Structure 1
Amino acid sequence: MLKRLAYLALCVCAPLHAAPHVDPSRITTLAADPYWLALGHYTPAKFGGWRSYVDDPRFFLARDGAHHPDQELAATVDALYAPANKGDLHAQCVFPARTRWLRAQLGLQDLPTPDCGDFHRWYKDISPYHTVLVFPAAYLNSPSSMFGHTLLRIDQAQASQDKTALLSSAINFGAYIEGNDNSILYAWKGLAGGYPGMFSLVPYQQKLAEYGSLENRDLWEYHLDLTPEETGRMVEHVWELKQIRFDYFFFDENCSYRLLELLQVARPSLRLTSQFPLTAIPTDTVKAVKQAGMVGEIDYRPSRERELLARAKPLDADEQQWVLKVAEDTTQLQSPGFKALAADRRALVLDAAYRLERYRATGQERDAGRTQRSYQLLRAISQNPPPPLNVERPGLPEDGHDSRTWQVGVGSRDGKAFGEYGLRMAYHDLNDNAQGFPLGAQIEILNMKLRQYEGNHWQVQRLDLATIRSMTPRNALLQPWSWQVTGGLERVLGKHGDETLVSHVNGGAGGTWQLGDDTLAFALGTVRVEHNNDFSAMLSPAAGFDSGLLWKNRLGNLRLEAQGDYFLNGEVRRTLSLNQQWELSRNLGLRLSAQRDFSELTGPRNEVMLEVKWYHY
């Protein structure tokens, strides 16, 4: 009872502030302002009007504020004049970016002054001054990271001078996952919007360790030309989005798209999100920011794996064996064979062995033996230090081709002429222009091809839902598995010489070896499950192989590949193919393909095709 009386007394004693009457036409005008629309994350609805990307009712003050920017604006003005005794729950404290803008636009000089202690302490700790767009490169072994990622680093004023960027804060948007979903379920729910997405603000050093060490991903840091005022305005809006949920989709409403929205809050004149009506691949969004003239200096942070390989590159085969021996057993440091190495070569071996130990420790529980070996290696390094490590910087990821691809080709299959028309939503295969992409990496999503034969006969040639191939070369120090997985519809040889459209899922694993700086050889064992109307069973399994060569030459990329599937029902299917692409420009290629198919159901078939590939987003 006493608490209720105290609360009533506080309300009576609190100064009253009446919201001014704002002309409805002024409300309508301000509600259509790009900055207000950016603060509410509004986008035009399909059937007219507006809808907000925010899927959390806590973000809105008006009952239908998610669809009516004018109602949300009017409700916000009223809420700004609520009694100041609400403290941190006051609208001015919850929505500082809205408050700043409406105060300036409407000349609100008589607002109450609540004590927004939580916000002011949070903002002071961050002290936003400079913005850096960070791009962790693609990491094929994680479904959530196949296309790379983007986040924003917020530096304090002295970060550059004092070299304290590691102490900065990072703004990240990602899927909020409860439970332990497996990779397949994660990929499906990510495609279908089954996870909520939320903004978070974490220490940059934590994200650096996660991407550079745990996931072995290179990081690119793009310093943006946002002013301190623009950076501060963006950080204010991040406070408004704390614990606020969005729908999350891998291909459009993802990390990169949300960060583009933040940049438009920082600088309302930008028009970044309108460039991505269908998909928002991280590398494409980096290009959009760069094309907007916002990027200055670019820094590169290599992953632990790349640093290890760079240190081991000048070592010969015997020296690399010493790396393995010393990393496993530090007593080898005293062996006559190791001491017989020249001092400068021992220094390189020691440094490579230490880096190998730290690489192996990634993601593992602390091990006393490994810790002791690392200490012994560090002591030896201090007595015989190696030269500074110089890691060659790869090509900029945004300099690669655009992600969406149109394909038009003409060819002949067993004497029958055809035209082929294709569309791939994303984003790279083994023969595409490798500039900005690792050699041996392939990620394709929704790749459809239609074929028109003589006599105006049309057919679906293939529809790949997803194809992922990771051909990472093995070496003396690291022995990664190469793997691939694909699924969808494709034409295969059928009975009586015709072609049958089948649905399938297949994958495989094996090894890849570096034959030269620009040549890879790979060999994988494969399994396949297929639904084929020519077969009596509903589903027919097969085991097989996939091997070949990939050569990056002066014209483009050449791939020679042999594949085979041996079904339990007796069907044997083999393919031998050759593909060479000529790079006419960064976003235009000409590809020649030749293929010979074999099947137990019919005779062999030959096919040759020349196609033009145009990349854009």
Structure 2
Amino acid sequence: MRRCLFSLLLTGVWTLLSAAPRPDSSLQRLSEDPFWLLLGHYQHDSSGRWYSHVNDKRFFLAEQGAKDPYAELLATLEGLYKPMTLGDKHPQCVYPARTHWLRNHLKLDDLPALPCDNYRQWYHTIDPHSAAMVFPAAFLNSPSSIFGHTLLRIDPSGMKDSGSALLSYSLSFGANIDDADNSLLYAWKGLMGGYPGLFVIQPYYEKIAEYSRLENRDLWEYPLDLTPDETARMIEHVWELQDTRFDYFFFDENCAYRLLELLEVARPGISLTGPFSLTAIPTDTIRAVRDADMMAGVKYRPSRERELMTRIKPLNHDEQQWVSKLAEDEHYLQDPAFLALPVERRALIQDGAYRFIRYKVTSKERDADAARRSYSLLQAINRDSPPPLEIQRPERPESGHKSRTFEFGVGSREDRAYAEYGLRMAYHDLVDNLKGFPLGAQIEMFRAALRQYEDNHWQLQRFDLVNIRSLAPRGELLKPLSWQVTGGLQRAPGDGDDEVLVAHVSGGAGFSRQWSDNLLGFAFATARVEHNPDFGAFLGPAMGFDTGLLWRNTFGNMLLEADSDYFHNGEIRRRIHLTQQLELTDELGLRLSAKREFSKFSEPISELQLSLRWYFF
């Protein structure tokens, strides 16, 4: 009896070993194949051990699969031969990209054939044939969108025949945000990895509405030269990642980085993510795809706001007032004063009023009153048709300067000469080279400056965690709020001629006015909280103002600015400074700045600096 049981046991073990490939040195080598590592999102840590970016145990079949590509490979091979009774939960149905690759690589002709109905139906609905990278432009009034965003558009096989992308699907990666979190909490969690990241696939027309309509963001679409097989391979892997949690970091492991990983899966052997170990700014990743010769063109979709502003730009002050009146009350269409205007001017005004209504109701529930006014205006537009709307396409976002900046400067503070060395991880300030950026937008993060005085005295001059300014100009119709916020360490006037390093958080709100295409004025009411060793209290609050002019000239950008802080302890700090950037090339700028500071702690101090800025990554 024992011999019989032992024989049966040996027979069972032999059957299992025969049914699946045995772990050996060839499988060990296979687990180190770059494509297998891509499918598991594996990387080496600082000690050389493997780890996966996937932060979800459900993604792995092996207990140690998140840290052991070999164990996960063996568990996958075993899973592929599991009973067919598992249905759609069978590993073949859950991991089609793994199954496809292992079947072809190991010639697994004896794999059981499963229908995988759920996967097949999902895949058939998407019908992947080609893909495009999409960049919704930066939107400063949304903290989650200050760098812009990237997503992929998956086009069906009939895309070329129809010429419309409305039947396509969008594929994006983003943070799963708690709606109760405010902007500051969002920024903190985003920087520290406090949100899980998920892939989402949805109809593309919903994304068009979300970005170009709801958030009034321009869209840039870059068709990619992926073949149908490459696109299919990528979508197979996307199915494996559904509802799978990743860590989300605002600066590196973000939407842009994850999409580069998918493109590496689509085209094995291409390296896109390598340079982005520290930061992955969307425009930089678009540039990486361009430099890899994966782009097959570009298409620009202007937002409703840009369409509105383009239409009303030729109108004078009084005509823009008519736009506002008609948008509020369609009965002004019969006003004798309006009817006295030339027909061609009325046509522009009516079209502007219609676009203004559509702009205002974009994110709201359907309004019967707005619908009635829109219909009346459409009737008037049909009677007096305006000329076609021609929107000048702005510079492509990836044509601008790179995100990281190194700065070397020389200057003098009163009678002391110095050299200054600066590094900024991201991304753009008001007077940087403007190509590819909007006038009046500033987003800086992790900017540091070290100063070396002539007596070899070194000091940290400043360290900005964040420095954001949005100079959104107000007009006759749109009246956005301009704002700024900054926080970090900086030098402030101290006793005598000394400077003291203070920690601060500052912010302000106000308005901006565009006097011409190249001249922008602004004024803010500001608030500041500062930890200053020279103050008696631990924290010193202050109120103040900040005003200035930003001028786009022949050589570059010039900023003239004056600001003042009035502290609770009687300290009054004023400053006026002038900065001119000379745009030498797309990646080089020469900056001249002059500053005059006034403080109750010291005599007025003048500072002059000339610096070279290199946008290198």
Distance in 2 of aligned mates of 1:180 and 1:358: 29
Per the alignment, residue 388 of structure 1 pairs with 388
8 A contact 1:84–1:115 mirrored in 2: no
Per the alignment, residue 8 of structure 1 pairs with none
Per the alignment, residue 579 of structure 2 pairs with 579
Per the alignment, residue 130 of structure 1 pairs with 130
Per the alignment, residue 189 of structure 1 pairs with 189
8 A contact 1:86–1:114 mirrored in 2: no
**1:325-340 alignment to 2 at 5 Å?**
325-340=325-340
Per the alignment, residue 39 of structure 2 pairs with 39
Distance in 2 of aligned mates of 1:18 and 1:203: 45
Distance in 1 of aligned mates of 2:67 and 2:359: 50
Per the alignment, residue 6 of structure 2 pairs with none
Find runs of 4+ consecutive structure 1 residues off by over 4 angstroms. Answer: 15-18
**1:312-327 alignment to 2 at 5 Å?**
312-327=312-327
1:500-552 deviation per Cα after TM superposition (whole angstroms, max 9, x unaligned): 11111111111111122111111111111111111112211111111111111
SS at match of 2:296: strand
Distance in 1 of aligned mates of 2:536 and 2:262: 56
1:566-599 deviation per Cα after TM superposition (whole angstroms, max 9, x unaligned): 1122111111101111112111111111100000
Per the alignment, residue 435 of structure 2 pairs with 435
Distance in 2 of aligned mates of 1:277 and 1:68: 21
Per the alignment, residue 444 of structure 1 pairs with 444
Distance in 2 of aligned mates of 1:86 and 1:115: 11
**1:155-174 alignment to 2 at 5 Å?**
155-174=155-174
* Gap change, CA 1:319 and 1:78, over 3 Å in 2: same
1:412-438 deviation per Cα after TM superposition (whole angstroms, max 9, x unaligned): 001101111111110000110010000
**1:91-130 alignment to 2 at 5 Å?**
91-130=91-130
Distance in 2 of aligned mates of 1:288 and 1:343: 50
Comparing 562-571 with 380-389, greater Cα deviation is found at: 380-389
1:200-240 deviation per Cα after TM superposition (whole angstroms, max 9, x unaligned): 10111111111101111100000000001100110110000
How far did residue 17 of structure 1 move? 10
Structure 2 stretches of 5 or more lacking a match?
1-14
Per the alignment, residue 536 of structure 2 pairs with 536
SS at match of 1:185: helix
Per the alignment, residue 296 of structure 1 pairs with 296
SS at match of 1:344: helix
Distance in 1 of aligned mates of 2:350 and 2:367: 20
Per the alignment, residue 224 of structure 2 pairs with 224
Per the alignment, residue 71 of structure 1 pairs with 71
Which AA in structure 1 matches 2:368? A
Distance in 2 of aligned mates of 1:612 and 1:16: 68
Distance in 2 of aligned mates of 1:338 and 1:156: 49
Distance in 1 of aligned mates of 2:462 and 2:570: 24
> Are 1:260 and 2:297 matched, yes or no?
no
Aligned-CA RMSD value: 1.3
- Identity rate of aligned residues, in percent? 59
8 A contact 1:18–1:81 mirrored in 2: no
**1:551-570 alignment to 2 at 5 Å?**
551-570=551-570
Per the alignment, residue 233 of structure 1 pairs with 233
SS at match of 2:394: coil
Comparing 558-567 with 381-390, greater Cα deviation is found at: 381-390
Distance in 1 of aligned mates of 2:178 and 2:535: 42
8 A contact 2:23–2:74 mirrored in 1: no
Distance in 2 of aligned mates of 1:19 and 1:520: 73
Comparing 383-392 with 32-41, greater Cα deviation is found at: 383-392
Comparing 311-320 with 433-442, greater Cα deviation is found at: 311-320
Distance in 2 of aligned mates of 1:135 and 1:310: 21
How far did residue 158 of structure 1 move? 1.5
Per the alignment, residue 511 of structure 1 pairs with 511
Which AA in structure 2 matches 1:532? N
How far did residue 362 of structure 1 move? 2.3
Distance in 2 of aligned mates of 1:382 and 1:113: 61
How far did residue 387 of structure 1 move? 2.0
Distance in 2 of aligned mates of 1:363 and 1:21: 56
Which AA in structure 2 matches 1:355? R
Which AA in structure 2 matches 1:44? H
Distance in 2 of aligned mates of 1:163 and 1:70: 45
SS at match of 2:544: strand
1:352-397 deviation per Cα after TM superposition (whole angstroms, max 9, x unaligned): 1011111111222332222221222122222222222111100000
Structure 1 stretches of 5 or more lacking a match?
1-14
Which AA in structure 2 matches 1:352? G
Q: How many pairs does the alignment contain?
A: 603
Per the alignment, residue 373 of structure 2 pairs with 373
How far did residue 38 of structure 1 move? 0.8
SS at match of 1:97: helix
Distance in 1 of aligned mates of 2:554 and 2:585: 13
Per the alignment, residue 11 of structure 1 pairs with none
8 A contact 2:496–2:603 mirrored in 1: no
8 A contact 2:80–2:111 mirrored in 1: yes
Distance in 1 of aligned mates of 2:166 and 2:337: 41
Which AA in structure 2 matches 1:452? Q
Which AA in structure 2 matches 1:242? Q
1:19-38 deviation per Cα after TM superposition (whole angstroms, max 9, x unaligned): 33346122122111111111
Distance in 2 of aligned mates of 1:461 and 1:313: 44
Distance in 1 of aligned mates of 2:414 and 2:164: 65
- TM-score under structure 2 normalisation? 0.96
Distance in 2 of aligned mates of 1:21 and 1:330: 76
* Gap change, CA 1:342 and 1:18, over 3 Å in 2: farther
8 A contact 2:573–2:600 mirrored in 1: yes
Which AA in structure 1 matches 2:78? D
